[in-house]
Amino acid sequence: GADIVQWLMKNLSIEDPAEAIHLGSLIAAQGYVFPISDHVLTLKDDGTFYRFQAPYFWPSNCWEPENTDYAIYLCKRTMQNKARLELADYEAENLARLQRAFARKWEFIFMQAEAQVKIDRKKDKTERKILDSQERAFWDVHRPVPGCVNTTEMDIRKCRRMKNPQKVKKSVYGVTEESQPQSPVHVPSQPVRKTTKEDFRKQITFLNMQIERHCLKMSKVAESLIAYTEQYVEYDPFITPAEPSNPWISDDAALWDIEM
């Protein structure tokens, strides 16, 4: 962690260590670097070891992983008898919720998890450790620890305004099933709908209405604002100072002395 902070300060000409830590924490929160032994994605200026995320898992790939993938990941973790892969309390709760939500297809999820475990066992021990940590960091970004900021969550108002979301649903483990029941852990967004002729007609109608709207000239608007200001200027304490002056915006406490 300390090395990353020093690197940021040197290469980005940052003088304040706190600023470098803040910038590094923003990068870590997106999952590009992550602590090896912690679920909380933040940068610490100490001896904590960090690892770079594999390009496959970068958030710039516009991931929006399915709950089925998350269920496969958690199920796979329970099959590996290793202390570093034990589920945290919140992960165990999520697994229980997913198991209830996907009760009808849990056998399929279990089989997918078993297949992933068999593939992982064929890999080199060191490579397997690195991949496990990278996979864990990926899910720490998309299913964060309770209390941590979800950097992948979009403002609902922006979602309503967007017609063509950048994020697309795609499976992390290549699961191709179309039907994905709703889960209490995460609500997937609706699939992207293609723009139709009717949508274009509505847009043209809306734009024509905007063109036909009555608009005032800037000179008329300015005259109206000036007249309004002149009418109420004596009631505006920022333009016409009150007597005695307002003690909240000046150093004169005469008003309080009078009231006492």
At 200 the three-state DSSP class reads helix
pLDDT of the residue at 178: 45
pLDDT of the residue at 72: 86
Burial pattern 86-124, b for ≥16 Cβ within 10 A else e, equals: eeeeebeebbeebeebbeeeeeebbebbeebeeebeeee
> What are 34's two structure tokens?
């992550």
Looking at the domain that runs over 2-52, which CATH code has it been given? 1.10.10.10
The residue ranges of every structural domain in the chain are: 2-52, 60-215, 218-259
pLDDT tens digits for range 164-214: 555 555 566 666 544 444 444 444 444 556 778 888 888 888 888 878 777
Of 124, 43, 107, which is closest to residue 72 (Cα–Cα)? Answer: 107
pLDDT tens digits for range 101-113: 888 888 888 888 8
Looking at the domain that runs over 60-215, which CATH code has it been given? 1.10.1240.60
pLDDT tens digits for range 17-47: 888 888 888 888 888 888 887 777 778 878 8
Residue 126 to residue 164: CA distance in whole angstroms: 41
Comparing 2-52 with 60-215, is the CATH topology the same? no
Give the chain's mean pLDDT. 77
